[in-house]
């Protein structure tokens, strides 16, 4: 089977509207052969290049079949990070908003990463990815990481234990998992100002 046929077969199994890295196809043949095939597919309109080395199969809108969903800018950023083995997480304000610790929605989506700073644009969507110190990326792919970054942005003096409890519930963890998360956060020196509130929360969970 030719490289072109192998690429077509693999592409047919890719979810429409979801971005993917061309590197996932390099096992099918030489790099140049795969790149040439992908370039032809772009010209034919069967795939769309949404970023360097990242593509997507267009997904027709149900309400308007002549219009296509290409990919979400946020998903493109995630594929970029995964492909390059970079850490990626919501920045503090975004995490706080998602956890209900911040009522005002961020003006634009911003991520922190261990990789270089860059911006991803897909249609009218824009996502900023900013390089951040490793201290801000602690547990970058864990629930406690999202809570850590949310607490780093929020103010303990303006946050009640009930609000903190509500934020933890959004992580959908078990009681045992919540207690482990609290223990980890208490050990992080960057959250020393949250110690009293975290201890109160742990007390309510144990009661």
pLDDT digits (tens, 9 = 90+) for 145-197: 999 999 999 999 999 999 999 999 999 999 999 999 999 999 999 999 999 99
Select from 80, 103, 198, 185 the least CA-distant residue to 139: 185
* 147 secondary structure, DSSP code: H
Distance CA 7, CA 29 (A): 9
| Most distant CA atoms of the chain, gap in Å | 65
What residue ranges in 7-153 does DSSP mark as E strands? 19-21, 48-51, 54-56, 59-60, 68-69, 88-90, 109-113, 118-122, 125-131
pTM of the shown model: 0.86
Q: How far is CA 204 from CA 6, 170, 188, 192, in A?
A: 57, 17, 21, 19
Q: Look at residue 16 and tell me whether its pLDDT is greater than 70.
A: yes
Distance CA 205, CA 183 (A): 12
pLDDT tens digits, residue range 131-158? 999 999 999 999 999 999 999 999 999 9
When the pLDDT of each residue in the chain is averaged and rounded to a whole number, the result is 92
Q: What is the predicted pLDDT for the residue at 95?
A: 94
Residue 182 in contact with residue 202, Cβ under 8 Å?
A: yes
């Amino acid at each position: 089977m030719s490289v072109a046929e192998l690429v077509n077969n693999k592409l047919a199994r890719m979810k429409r509207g979801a971005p993917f890295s061309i590197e996932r196809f390099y096992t099918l043949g030489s790099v140049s052969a795969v790149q040439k095939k992908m370039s032809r597919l772009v010209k034919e309109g069967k795939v769309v290049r949404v970023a360097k080395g990242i593509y997507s199969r267009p997904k027709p809108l149900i309400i308007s079949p002549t219009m296509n969903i290409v990919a979400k800018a946020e998903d493109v950023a995630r594929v970029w990070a995964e492909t390059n083995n970079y850490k990626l997480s919501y920045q503090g304000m975004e995490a706080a908003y998602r956890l209900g610790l911040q009522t005002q929605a961020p003006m634009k989506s911003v991520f922190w990463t261990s990789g270089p700073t860059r911006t991803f644009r897909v249609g009218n969507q824009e996502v900023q990815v900013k390089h951040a110190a490793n201290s801000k990326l602690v547990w970058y792919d864990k629930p406690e990481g999202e809570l850590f970054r949310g607490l780093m942005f929020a103010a303990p003096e303006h946050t009640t234990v009930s609000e903190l409890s509500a934020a933890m519930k959004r992580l959908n963890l078990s009681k045992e998992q919540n207690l482990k998360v609290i223990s980890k956060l208490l050990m992080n020196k960057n959250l020393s100002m949250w110690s009293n509130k975290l201890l109160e929360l742990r007390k309510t969970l144990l009661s």
